[in-house]
Structure 1
Amino acid sequence: MEGVTTMRAISQDVLGGPEVLKEVEVERPVPRPNEVLVRVRAAGVNPTDWKHRATGGFLGEPPFVLGWDVSGVVEETGIGVAAFKPGDEVFGMVSYPFGHGTHAEYVTVPARALTHKPAGIDHTQAGALPLVSLTAWQALVETAGLRRGQRVLIHAAAGGVGHVAVQIAKARGAYVIGTASAGKHDFLREIGVDEPIDYRSTDFAEAVRDVDVVLDTIGGDTGLRSLRVLRPGGIAVSILPVGSQEFYDEAERLGVRAVRMLVDADRAGMRAIAELVEAGQLRATIAGTFPLSEAAKAHELGETGRTKGKLVLLAD
């Protein structure tokens, strides 16, 4: 909007619980060369948000504005941007971890992190997808090379990354085993899980065998025990980038592969995700939406660990 130089954003001055989040007025960013200024319509909230809010994580000490998912409208383009023009509806994930800042009315994003929003979904749906979808795509497709007929075990299959990973795995033609509490098993079947496992009553490491790929969204002992369910030459991909050397050592002993990864912004990945959306093969389940001003409530709900799917902030 002409003449507007400030915007609302959710920031914090100290590390701590959801109560440290506050709405502030800050200077509206200006896109640099190869950047796009996006008017945020919706932005997902992910576990990485509340972890960084509480510990600082990769970002260190506040103040900072969290948020990596974005769906919105191009407001302005920087020098050299050829793919987008003002008014285009776009979605994507800003560079992880240092491109944070989507929990605001506007954000600058590298043009190559964005793609056009599929016309068939709204901004809430689009804002829920990028980080979890890119994580699942990069883990299952790019890292593990998942293909038709393979068996995949997805931990926390009803969660943000998990429920999207299930749909991507099914679109690849895989047989999907998913862990979740018994109350979420109907949901798992709805999104395509072939074999739900109640992790509270069943030891997955005893119940599952000859798996080609494991997606570990939990880490620690779960990641370690997951190695035992892999067939020789199988791969476990953990999206928890830091952990003990034992994960690698045990994989080598068992004749399987173990990889840790961090999601990274990528237009090619976003285009692949958009194609799955357009083909009706991928949809985010929305666990709740909150206005930007109620970001703390979204964090509180997310930290219960009981939600199915994604939480989304609406910047309108």
Structure 2
Amino acid sequence: MDVFACAGCGTELTAPVSRVALPVHAHHGAWEELHPPLMESATYAVDSRPTGPPWRLWEEVGEEAAARQGVYAPVYSVSFGARNRIVIAPGDSRSMALIPEKCEGYCRGVDGRAGPNLACEECGRAVATRMDDCGMWQTVWLEPDAVVCRPSGLLPAGPPPCWDDLERAEHRVPPVEPDGSWSRRWEAAVGVVLAHLVATTAGGPVILPAGPVAELLGHAVGRCLPAGPGARTVGLAGPGVAPPRPRPAVLLVPLHPLTGETWRPAGDEGAVVPLDSGVWAYFAHPGETSPMPASGVLPEGVLRDDYPLPSQPWYPLMPNRRAFADTLVGLPAIRAPQLRRFRDERR
């Protein structure tokens, strides 16, 4: 496990934390809602992309400079903030105090628009940004040039996350919240996977596999990608789930829970589309979900199912629009003329 300390005076600014993959929904919440912490306690993640202020208008930046920032299609503004910012749960922060004149926000909290708003209590150096306004996951983002990472001397509570974690029941993320609304994490994940599908297929039609994938993603995919001849087949694959035979044109595969790397079958060079590991695990290992009572002796591994049917939203699952748009402009494939036309028609 690691701790992050002030680069100026050495004061420890975090509890011991272990690195995990950056959640795909890190920058995508639901407008006018308060969200819980993004990160689990005792974990941190690193965003390799430029994030936060300063922002520069696309017209001032130009296509080449924007591409160096990881933006490949016109947007209103481009971030020239730091790369490799470190995100932790607010409860894991230590020895930091708010900078009052930088605590601006939209309505219910602070959004970091003025840059770092947390200072080291010992030396006063601006070291991090607290974000918790409506529509944002509660986070503390450490500035990479203001902190240093040190070994904590403590061992993690368990082994680091690995592909095997995807088969654990607690790793699965259900698509519906306890209040009956769609999961905000799922909405962001659908936006991200939809953008990758558009880039992979050049905006062409696809055929989703029957079952939960088609039931949950079908409406969003159908609204974005046209129907018609020449549709590419999509299948699910990953650790413990072999690709269907014959191999579909596109495979939905998970992201590694520690490194964020995309899973790929050994020796396979075909098209793959990355999916949030918790969402993928729900598709691949849904567990016992049958609402029909079993008769006779219950087979081994089957749970009692005399529970009420789970609540379902009255409207279909839709992607987080910002997650879709931000992901799509961050993919170099968007530069292709066909995809540029696709995006311009839907702006």
Task: Check whether TM > 0.5.
Answer: no
TM-score (norm 1): 0.30
User: Which structure has more helix as a fraction of its residues?
Assistant: 1
Structure holding more strand per residue:
1
Structure with bigger gyration radius: 2
